Structure 1
């Protein structure tokens, strides 16, 4: 019996390794066949990271890490914590991850959630729950780039609002499911599940040490982010170069890979409400690039990337439906 289990397990591992080798080999061949497209796309991805992502996220990441290192998260969120606890049904410690996720962009919301979980400030179930709605594109990206530049809206704030509302609706669905499971005795409450949560204490050591660690930690995260942005920019460039599909389908594929490049293509190839609905939906999902970034920052925990992806797909669908409903009754 055990021998059969090991045999089956070995076959599964072999198949996975074979598929992975074939995928990587195919990518290398494509890189060799389209060197100019790879080079140009890599340059675009590098410039996007260096000129946009790094300046906007690095200061925020350093400050956020310092706040957590000094044990000041609950003081920082003291004013908004009661509201967030009521709206999202989370603990006071979890509120900080939500605030960071709303004010920054991918993947700082996920990184903060993972950091709180590793520090035993929130339990696994709450961390997984927060991860499904706190990790979004930055407010500036959604309003200025998507709302104004790509969609030409006079009221671009609607994009940000609908993306956040879609995330909140997802949280309501998850809370309802969890409430049913608790009523059936299949799950415990977060307080019962994590009664031994560590209390936040102000840091009494050298502040410079915290700052040094925060800077190093932030650069590690954002360097990984840069690598994924470049990689998915290359994949998006190859899709545009070699896929024999119509421009509309190419725009959809590129948007699913990397939303910044995809947003420009969608807005230029699919005009009107249809294109805008798709654009809002893809923005709420975030693209596979943001999924890879998120998977990277939570890789040292046992949080599920699969559950996160399902939640983001749901958020994208809900956001697209909300925009379509609003566009039929309101003028943006």
Structure 2
């Protein structure tokens, strides 16, 4: 009871301080809100919407269950999750945060995975997409496309490490795995087609209704994501101006010295714990650090995902019985694994393609890649808002029709 009261008091004080800071610093909060909104409607919404809609359609038509049966012999021994986890993993890497959580929750609602399998699956299927790693971070912040190869390789290797570690989670409680193993018999392709057909027959919605539900569900999720991005963008800004970020950074300075990292990297590190974009951007601006040191911190930030993404995942998982705590612990494992992978991959990858290994110089051969990712980002920023506005108009029409019927 005492612990609960203290938690209530801490939350109340925290929200009150946050509200007061918004009143006292309206200019800074507006600037942070616009930054978060720009990121959402220019990049996040248009890049995630197609993946979400297609994923919903694939689940409805039974394709995901077909893939699950086919990938069962691969996913089950390595990660102790069903074969459908392979689909979630691939879509999570392609589309980025928080697609893995969205699909995991959807599969749990469909009863295609157990609670423990969902907790394992969501832990290693949430990752940054290549567009963000190469376009926003490597080219946008560091002006170095070659660095993106190292960051992406380390990030996805970290995902695999998390999956392997999490296979041991809930080992004693997992009895469903043995039962399902006994059920899997016969020719795998025939079984996969049978599962696909059965799923399509059981979902009695017409194609138009299925598509409408997919669009509505996807846009609702993206609206929630946009709210979290804006909220944590403002929160991060307020923490910086209230010198709370600096306070925690000073506490971490001794740890950074122990790992032979420059003290100025502590502030970007703390900022990155809340929001990965700002943390990565601030890290790229620390001239006292070498590029390798910047890459180590950036890899941890990308792996940890930031409290902003974690809040999005927690909100999605709240619709199911999947617990958030295992996902939170897995983020630390991902951050550490990605940082270690960056150190190990630095010479084999970055050292091979760049003569100036530990400086912020831009490799000449990478300029072509820089131009490609710059063009992609420019196109998204130009077309993204139009896609977002048109999609929201379609959502309003669908929602109005559903409410009136």
Task: Give the equivalent residue in structure 1 for 2:304.
Answer: 285
TM-superposed CA distance for 1:214, in Å, is: 0.8
What whole-Å deviation, never above 9, does each CA across 1:190-241 have from its counterpart, x for those lacking one? 24279899x6511443111111111111111100000000001101222333
Cα deviation per residue 1:98-152 (whole Å; 9 max; x = unaligned)?
A: 2221221111111100110111111111111111100111121122222333342
CA distance in 1, matches of 2:29, 2:147: 37
State whether structure 2 residue 242 is matched by structure 1 residue 255: no
Deviates more, 1:223-232 or 1:25-34: 25-34
Q: Matched residues in 1 for 2:183 and 2:75: separation?
A: 22
SS of equivalent to 1:136? coil
Q: 2:232 & 2:52 partners in 1: Cα distance?
A: 22
Q: Which runs of 5+ in 2 are unaligned?
A: 185-194, 250-263, 354-405
> Secondary structure in 2 aligned to 1:30?
helix
Secondary structure, in 3 states, of the residue corresponding to 1:94?
helix
Q: How many residues are matched? A: 317
- After superposition, the Cα gap between the structure-2 partners of 1:258 and 1:195, relative to the gap in structure 1 and judged at 3 Å, is farther
Structure 2 counterpart SS, 1:201: helix
- Counting helix residues as a fraction of each chain, which structure ranks higher? 2
Matches within 5 A, 1:54-69: 54-69=45-60
On the 8 A contact 1:102/1:136 being kept in 2, the answer is yes
Distance 2:227 2:56 in 1: 21
SS at match of 2:322: coil
Alpha-carbon RMSD across the aligned residues, in angstroms, is 2.5
Return closer, same or farther for 1:34/1:196 CA change in 2, 3 Å cut-off.
farther
- Matched with 1:220 is 220
Which ranges in structure 1 are unaligned for 5 or more consecutive residues? 1-8
Give the superposition deviation at 1:81: 6.0
Match of 2:11 in 1: 20
Farther off after superposition, 312-321 or 235-244: 235-244
Please give the secondary structure, in 1, of the residue aligned with 2:84. Answer: coil
How much does 1:75 deviate?
3.5
Q: What's the TM-score once normalised by structure 2's chain length?
A: 0.72
Q: Does 1:129 align with 2:127?
A: no
Conserved 8 A contact 1:258-1:287: yes
Go from structure 1 to structure 2 and tell me whether the alpha carbon gap of 1:82 and 1:146 turns closer, same or farther (over 3 Å shift). Answer: farther
Greater CA drift, 33-42 or 76-85: 76-85
- CA deviations on 1:274-313 (whole Å, 9 max, x unpaired) are 1110001111111111100100111111212111010011
CA distance in 2, matches of 1:50, 1:109: 20
Q: Between Structure 1 and Structure 2, whose CA radius of gyration is higher?
A: 2
Q: Which residue number corresponds to residue 165 of structure 1?
A: 157
